[in-house]
Amino acid sequence: MPKLIDKFGRQINYLRISITEHCNFRCFYCRDDAHVPDCKREDILSYEDIQRIVRIFAEMGVTKVRLTGGEPLLRRGIVKIAKLISSTPGITDVPLSTNAQLLEKFAGKLHENGINRTNISIDSLIPERFKEITRGGDVAEVIKGIDAAIAAGMSPIKINAVAMRGVNDDEIESLIDFAIDKGIDIRFIEAMPIGAAGIESQSQYMSEQEILSRINQHLEGRLTPITPKKTDGPASNYKISNTNSTVGVISAVSNHFCQTCNRVRLTAKGDLILCLGQEDSISLKDAVRSDLSDDKIKTMIITAINKKPEKHEFNTAIDNISNRQMVEIGG
């Protein structure tokens, strides 16, 4: 069985699948004002396409498949997709990334059908500010979604907040306290220069060092570094003493984690993206809809993985990805 190991010796065992480009939020750092998904039904991966691609990747050593979007809960048949993926031999971890606006409705069924944990985006607890950041979101519904995920038994549950100077940096402490109160984890994310919206948001950028300073001031003497597991994401995580929560920072810009990158991304249109910060991709949708055998598709994937770059260029060449929208690739 061929393993997916790139030319830098990194084994790829994690596939992120965007199952829709549509989102019920329009977060200003994620997509441009004028962006409208140009995606017909026949353009996006079908259930059968997804099932075949996941099976092929599982046969090549991938064990973790994350469902992203857009907002994945908008995809018709989301529960069926979760079941198809979680029942694939070799796949042991099927998390979900969501804004949780619709999670109250789906949490129970998703957990029953293989979604074992979830990451939830929430950049503010202040209703009017949340509505402004998301251009219409309702933070009360998101909190109901978080509570539903807890009740369904998903674990761990992580909330992700993009820390932005002059936007929500005065809520770092209150977001930590919210996570502690709920018994869940929290991670702060550096704003990334992806697409015109992401590049424009760099004026509000806060570095890992700045964010950690604020966390340390708030939780003085209560943080213990956590040794990462192979399946962990790229955050620097800390256990908060006398709680069930952890806090972390994802430093995609100031202190990149490319040397341990173990993932590739599949867009809703079936493009395999090798690096979040580069534009190189191949179409797996065309491959699985052709008469190519599984073995030939595996050869295509191996060839692509060998072109995976050593690192992104967020600090030196942000225009690399100026034409791509974060909402299209799921972060």
Domain ranges (residues) in the chain: 14-329
Average pLDDT estimate for 169-194: 93
pLDDT in tens, 262-296: 999 999 999 999 987 677 789 999 999 999 999 99
The pLDDT of residue 145 = 98
Average pLDDT estimate for 308-323: 61
pLDDT-derived band at 259, boundaries 50, 70, 90: confident
pLDDT-derived band at 30, boundaries 50, 70, 90: confident
Bond from prior residue into 70 cis (ω within 30 degrees of 0): yes
pLDDT-derived band at 40, boundaries 50, 70, 90: confident
Burial of 140 (0-12, 13-18, 19+ CB in 10 A): exposed
CA proximity to 215, closest of 258, 161, 252: 161
Q: How many CA atoms lie within 13 A of 279 on its CB side?
A: 11
- 14-329: what fold? TIM Barrel (3.20.20)
Res. 200: pLDDT tops 90: no
Res. 204: pLDDT tops 70: yes
Query: How crowded is residue 221: how many other Cβ atoms within 10 Å of its Cβ?
Result: 6
pLDDT in tens, 96-143: 999 999 999 999 999 999 999 999 999 999 999 999 999 999 999 999
pLDDT in tens, 145-154: 999 999 999 9
